[in-house]
Amino acid sequence: MTRDESADGVAGSPRDARASGRADALGDGGPGELIGSGRSADVYALGAEWVVRRYRSARDTAAETAVMRRLASYGYPLPAPGPGPFAPREMVVRRVTGPTLAQSLADGGTSAVEGAALLAGLLNRLHSLPAPEGAPAGHRLLHLDPHPENVLLSPTGPVVIDWESAAVGPPGLDWASSALILAEASLRLDVAALVELFLPEFLALAPPGLDAHLVAARERREAIPGLTAQERALPARAFALLPPLRARARARYDAERQP
């Protein structure tokens, strides 16, 4: 798992405030302390209320910003983007404090059952929003990188960060992506609790459509630029874990809820 938008429980996104002429509106004279780094971006403090996310490769952040503004208009919990315009490769969002869901799971502040229900609820809420204009029937706006490192537990509730990969597609692909990322993390980090506790709880809550999208989710993960050979092999290994684990999780879930 990577946390491109958070560090020590602070959500963010980058740009040089001085270059865009928005520093006075957003805080101090420009980006300050480096507070986080991920695979594709670095995050800097920008005064007390904002952070700036600076991508390391050339890209236009307008699409990501537009996605976030659209979701915010429906009340979906994410860091509010700044007023813009942003410098190339950069984006400003409001600072959000609190631990990640991953941190809270690790220190016992959130149980596996609670964490799985929280992540599942955020996915269901996202997929219940109206589809973007022109989207195929049944498609919705997807996050496509939903996992506990991308959920901040702020004082006012959970906040979903890192919308770089967002796209329109079938909701089952979001669930499959999440399951695959969790399974990869269990292999990469050798965290048995992920497979034994959190992942089964999450899979038990997933809709039937998840299974049909596991291949597409694996192919998307394998196509991420810049992966090492070891990282590129992880999605296939994780893929093999999921069908039997999901079947067992669903059977247990159904048995526990029998009257």
d(CA 94, CA 27): 11
Report which of 37, 58, 56, 52 is spatially closest to residue 82, judged by C-alpha positions.
52
Residue 114 three-state SS: helix
pLDDT at 83: 87
Residue 122 CB-half CA count within 13 A: 29
What percentage of the chain exceeds 90 in pLDDT? Answer: 60
47 and 86 in contact (C-beta within 8 Å)? Answer: no
Helix locations, the chain, DSSP H? 17-20, 23-26, 62-73, 101-107, 112-127, 171-188, 192-193, 199-205, 214-222, 229-256
pLDDT at 30: 55
pLDDT at 98: 94
**Residue 12 binned pLDDT confidence (cut-offs 50, 70, 90):** very low
Q: What is the mean pLDDT of the chain?
A: 85
Comparing 27-31, 170-174, 238-242, the range with the smallest average pLDDT is: 27-31
Report which of 208, 194, 70 is spatially closest to residue 143, judged by C-alpha positions.
70
Cβ within 8 Å of residue 191, ≥6 positions away: 185
Task: Name the pTM for this structure.
Answer: 0.85
Average pLDDT of 9-15? 41
